[in-house]
Amino acid sequence: MFKRNVFLLCLLALPGAAVTIPASAEVNFSIGINVPPPAPLYEPVPPPRVGFIWAPGYWRWDGHRHVWTGGRWMEARPGYRFVGEHWDHRDGRHQFVPGRWEHESGHRFAEHGYSHDYRR
Protein backbone atom coordinates (compact mmCIF):
# COMPACT_ATOMS: atom_id res chain seq x y z
CA MET A 1 0.00 0.00 0.00
CA PHE A 2 2.81 2.44 0.91
CA LYS A 3 4.64 1.72 -2.35
CA ARG A 4 1.48 2.33 -4.35
CA ASN A 5 0.86 5.70 -2.65
CA VAL A 6 4.46 6.77 -3.28
CA PHE A 7 4.12 5.67 -6.92
CA LEU A 8 0.88 7.67 -7.35
CA LEU A 9 2.43 10.66 -5.67
CA CYS A 10 5.39 10.50 -8.06
CA LEU A 11 3.04 10.27 -11.05
CA LEU A 12 1.16 13.34 -9.89
CA ALA A 13 4.39 15.30 -9.34
CA LEU A 14 5.96 14.24 -12.64
CA PRO A 15 3.90 16.41 -15.02
CA GLY A 16 4.66 19.50 -12.95
CA ALA A 17 8.35 18.69 -12.99
CA ALA A 18 8.36 18.16 -16.75
CA VAL A 19 6.82 21.55 -17.51
CA THR A 20 9.26 24.42 -17.69
CA ILE A 21 8.27 28.01 -18.06
CA PRO A 22 10.74 30.24 -19.88
CA ALA A 23 11.79 33.18 -17.79
CA SER A 24 13.09 36.52 -18.87
CA ALA A 25 14.28 39.42 -16.83
CA GLU A 26 14.93 43.01 -17.67
CA VAL A 27 16.24 45.66 -15.35
CA ASN A 28 15.53 49.28 -16.13
CA PHE A 29 16.10 52.23 -13.93
CA SER A 30 16.15 55.88 -14.67
CA ILE A 31 17.71 58.87 -12.96
CA GLY A 32 15.45 61.89 -13.16
CA ILE A 33 16.55 65.12 -11.51
CA ASN A 34 15.61 68.79 -11.61
CA VAL A 35 19.20 69.99 -12.05
CA PRO A 36 20.42 70.25 -15.65
CA PRO A 37 23.93 69.00 -16.37
CA PRO A 38 26.63 71.57 -17.14
CA ALA A 39 27.86 71.99 -20.70
CA PRO A 40 30.13 69.15 -21.83
CA LEU A 41 33.82 69.66 -21.15
CA TYR A 42 36.10 69.85 -24.14
CA GLU A 43 38.31 66.78 -24.51
CA PRO A 44 40.61 66.41 -27.47
CA VAL A 45 39.93 63.11 -29.23
CA PRO A 46 43.12 61.04 -29.20
CA PRO A 47 44.51 59.57 -32.44
CA PRO A 48 42.64 56.48 -33.71
CA ARG A 49 43.41 53.03 -32.33
CA VAL A 50 42.78 49.99 -34.50
CA GLY A 51 39.91 47.89 -33.14
CA PHE A 52 38.68 50.57 -30.72
CA ILE A 53 36.21 53.46 -30.71
CA TRP A 54 36.39 56.64 -28.67
CA ALA A 55 33.43 57.14 -26.31
CA PRO A 56 33.26 60.81 -25.31
CA GLY A 57 33.00 61.98 -21.71
CA TYR A 58 29.70 62.79 -20.04
CA TRP A 59 28.23 64.20 -16.83
CA ARG A 60 26.97 61.59 -14.37
CA TRP A 61 24.96 62.22 -11.21
CA ASP A 62 26.54 61.07 -7.93
CA GLY A 63 23.41 61.64 -5.85
CA HIS A 64 24.30 65.22 -4.94
CA ARG A 65 25.91 66.84 -7.96
CA HIS A 66 27.06 66.28 -11.54
CA VAL A 67 30.51 64.73 -11.88
CA TRP A 68 32.45 64.61 -15.16
CA THR A 69 33.44 61.17 -16.45
CA GLY A 70 36.21 61.44 -19.02
CA GLY A 71 36.12 59.88 -22.46
CA ARG A 72 37.45 56.37 -22.92
CA TRP A 73 38.46 53.81 -25.50
CA MET A 74 36.06 50.92 -25.99
CA GLU A 75 36.65 47.77 -27.97
CA ALA A 76 34.84 48.09 -31.30
CA ARG A 77 31.92 45.80 -32.09
CA PRO A 78 31.82 45.09 -35.82
CA GLY A 79 28.40 45.92 -37.27
CA TYR A 80 27.50 48.25 -34.35
CA ARG A 81 27.96 51.90 -33.42
CA PHE A 82 28.10 53.32 -29.93
CA VAL A 83 25.58 55.91 -28.74
CA GLY A 84 27.14 57.86 -25.87
CA GLU A 85 25.72 58.57 -22.45
CA HIS A 86 23.69 61.77 -22.34
CA TRP A 87 20.83 63.61 -20.62
CA ASP A 88 17.35 64.12 -22.11
CA HIS A 89 14.94 66.78 -20.89
CA ARG A 90 11.54 65.10 -20.39
CA ASP A 91 8.48 66.24 -18.48
CA GLY A 92 10.36 69.06 -16.77
CA ARG A 93 13.09 66.73 -15.51
CA HIS A 94 16.50 65.72 -16.77
CA GLN A 95 16.78 61.99 -17.49
CA PHE A 96 20.13 60.22 -17.79
CA VAL A 97 20.33 57.91 -20.81
CA PRO A 98 23.05 55.25 -20.52
CA GLY A 99 25.36 54.53 -23.43
CA ARG A 100 24.46 51.65 -25.70
CA TRP A 101 25.40 49.85 -28.90
CA GLU A 102 23.15 50.10 -31.95
CA HIS A 103 23.21 47.82 -34.94
CA GLU A 104 24.37 49.67 -38.05
CA SER A 105 21.18 48.58 -39.81
CA GLY A 106 19.45 51.22 -37.72
CA HIS A 107 17.93 48.88 -35.13
CA ARG A 108 17.82 50.78 -31.86
CA PHE A 109 18.39 49.00 -28.56
CA ALA A 110 16.79 51.79 -26.55
CA GLU A 111 13.80 53.98 -27.08
CA HIS A 112 15.35 57.41 -26.53
CA GLY A 113 18.56 59.18 -27.35
CA TYR A 114 20.59 60.35 -30.24
CA SER A 115 22.93 58.41 -32.42
CA HIS A 116 26.37 59.49 -33.40
CA ASP A 117 29.09 57.41 -34.95
CA TYR A 118 32.09 57.74 -32.63
CA ARG A 119 34.37 55.46 -34.63
CA ARG A 120 37.71 57.06 -35.41
Instruction: Give residue 100's pLDDT band: very low, low, confident or very high (50, 70, 90).
Output: very high
Helix (H, G, I), strand (E, B) or coil at 2: helix
pTM, two decimal places? 0.61
Q: Where are the domains of the chain?
A: 47-120
C-alpha 87 chain-centroid distance: 14
Q: DSSP for 25-60? A: -------EESSPPPPPPP-PPPPP-TTEEEEPPEEE
Asked if 86 contacts 110 with a C-beta cutoff of 8 angstroms, the reply is no
Span 50-66, pLDDT tens digits: 999 999 999 999 999 99
pLDDT higher for 71 or 14? 71
